[in-house]
Amino acid sequence: MAEEELEKVVESLPSDVVNDLASLGLCNRCIFRALGVQGHRIYASPSLFFPSIHHHQQQQLCTLCLGILQFSFSDDSGILHNKQNDDVALLIADMLKRQRYHFESFSLEVSIPPIILQNDNSLSSYIKTKYGSQQNFHVGCISAKDALKFSLVHPLQNLLKSSLQECKSSASSFRIRLTYTHSKASKGAENCSDTAQGCKRRKTGESNLVGEKPSNSSLENETSDCCKFLLETVNEPCHFTYTCYRTPFYFGGRYLKYSRNVSQTRWIIDDERMGEASVEEIIGGNILQACQADSFKFHAAGREDIDVRMLGPGRPFLVEVQNSRYVPSELSVEDIEKLINNMENKLVRVKNLKLVGSQGWELMREGEAEKQKQYTALVWISRPLKDEDFQCVSSLNDLKVLQRTPIRVLHRRSPLEREKIIHWMKMETVAGSSQYFLLHLCTQAGTYIKEFVHGDLGRTHPSIGSILGCRAEILQLDVTDIKMECFLT
């Protein structure tokens, strides 16, 4: 900001109020914000000063902001710093360059000790009481958070812009977080609360003499005393840390699993890995590497057992990418899909991989409740097949099945009874065998297919075994289709 403009702003403020605030130990930026002065350029100016205030007063820590707007702070090593706003902006910019984030905009987040807000409220009450009658005086305190953002945003934008594009502060998924803490903040907050209650009692007319009302002059003095008590001299600056992160974003798509030795998620029992790989690691691992992210979470619309292949159009999934350094373009997403599909082992394949918003999670869950699954199972029965078996099974449409939690999952699932629907079934012969057949069926989501075939010792009823009046066992199972029209079709 030009020196002449800054001088005009300074000259427009009432000198008696400025000097009073300075006597309470306020720094220059806190005086500006206490008087409701707006504007990024004012707070960003490194030459912010009031000619009437002695220079040595500005070397002390501000009693209102605890030195935050003077850019005085201690770091993790306990070293004390006294800097300008441009210096702090440079520290942040260097940190971003070291961590190699790619971004076109940023959002600045600030966390400060709560005592500063309480100090602001008390000071605002003091100013209104003492100077509110002045017609040329505007009362309206700017928060310390906003003043700090005003001071740093423009220097940061200048430091972060590249030769090709500007970098703007806006609502962005990339966040820069500034955190200030103070060892005496909690104690000061208690004192502030006690003092504020005392002031409130005095203002409502409580006194030692019944019926006595405080005069305006005594009220003014008491309010002033409260502010002076709250804004006591600070010897220790705030501890300052700064970090950055990107909010999570999502990849969505459908996966197919061709191996009967691949689990959906990483499966470890007693430090021993089950299966040769997992869908989660194959898909999520490649996305993690491409996005240079800290971690990921894998979510799928249901699950299949490790020995069940996932065929047909595939199962919908989401990968939640956390704190990514890089957000891929549409072309880069296509490259990630090709990378997964061209892996040598051919265990897993993805389809329709794309970046989706957080609403993708809601759509997947909504669709999951209504979706249908189609399976193909290789079944053995304890007697030879009869012609009427085919007609009997195919005639059962929308068959209601009661399933108690299967024995094989009782150790991790609640013992409940669930009603599921088998929408349709049909049988297909297997060449050269009278006791094997392929069972094609469409079911409601959440149906336990293995248990529907063998009955699980009577815990699922009816079952294929009870329908055909014999013992039945399932040898292989494939998910062949999942109907979810609302998500990634």
pLDDT per residue over 38-59, tens digit each? 877 788 876 666 665 655 455 6
End position of a domain, from candidates 341, 369, 397: 369
In this structure, are 357 and 466 located in the same domain?
A: no
In this structure, are 144 and 171 located in the same domain?
A: yes
Under DSSP, the state recorded for 485 is: T
Most confident of 30-34, 186-190, 283-287, 364-368: 283-287
In this structure, are 192 and 109 located in the same domain?
A: yes
The amino acid occupying position 421 is: I
Structural domains in the chain (count): 3
- Compare 361 and 235 and report the one with higher pLDDT: 235
Is the entire prediction scored with pTM above 0.85? no
In this structure, are 71 and 90 located in the same domain?
A: yes
Report if residue 456 sits inside a domain.
Answer: yes
In this structure, are 61 and 73 located in the same domain?
A: yes
Catalytic, 305? Answer yes
Short-list 328, 463, 455, 348, CA closest to 400: 463
Contacts of 142 (CB under 8 A, 6+ apart): 32, 33, 36, 37, 38, 150
Among residues 20, 305, 307, 481, which one is catalytic? 305
**CATH code of the domain covering residue 261:** 3.30.70.2510
End position of a domain, from candidates 203, 227, 245: 245
Contacts of 370 (CB under 8 A, 6+ apart): 445
| pLDDT confidence of residue 445 | 84
In this structure, are 9 and 156 located in the same domain?
A: yes
Q: Supply the range of the domain harboring residue 431.
A: 371-483
In this structure, are 359 and 276 located in the same domain?
A: yes
Report if residue 398 sits inside a domain.
Answer: yes
C-alpha to C-alpha distance for 218 and 199, rounded to whole angstroms? 12
Most confident of 128-137, 351-360, 365-374: 351-360
Question: How far is C-alpha 189 from the chain's CA centre?
Answer: 29
What are the φ/ψ torsions at residue 405 (nearest 5 degrees)? -50, 125
- Compare 193 and 18 and report the one with higher pLDDT: 18
In this structure, are 315 and 430 located in the same domain?
A: no
| pLDDT confidence of residue 124 | 87
**Residue recorded with tokens 């062949």:** 480
pLDDT per residue over 381-428, tens digit each? 999 999 999 999 999 999 999 999 999 988 888 899 999 999 999 999
**CATH code of the domain covering residue 413:** 3.30.70.3190
DSSP symbols for 410-471? TTTS---EEEEEEEEEEEEE-TT-SSEEEEEEEEETT--HHHHHH-TTTTEES-HHHHHTS-
**What would the mean pLDDT of 317-339 be, rounded to a whole number?**
94
Q: Is the pLDDT of residue 202 over 50?
A: no
| pLDDT confidence of residue 6 | 75
In this structure, are 68 and 162 located in the same domain?
A: yes
Report if residue 223 sits inside a domain.
Answer: yes
Lowest mean pLDDT, pick from 2-6, 209-213, 402-406: 209-213
In this structure, are 240 and 289 located in the same domain?
A: no
Lowest mean pLDDT, pick from 48-52, 135-139, 178-182, 412-416: 135-139
C-alpha to C-alpha distance for 224 and 100, rounded to whole angstroms? 50
In this structure, are 340 and 420 located in the same domain?
A: no
Q: Is the pLDDT of residue 198 over 80?
A: no
End position of a domain, from candidates 335, 369, 403: 369
pLDDT per residue over 222-251, tens digit each? 444 444 445 677 788 999 999 999 999 999
Q: Is the pLDDT of residue 16 over 90?
A: no
pLDDT per residue over 266-296, tens digit each? 888 888 888 889 999 999 999 999 999 999 9
DSSP symbols for 376-416? EEEEEESS---HHHHHHHHT--SEEEEEEPPGGGTTTS---
pLDDT per residue over 453-475, tens digit each? 999 999 999 999 999 999 999 99
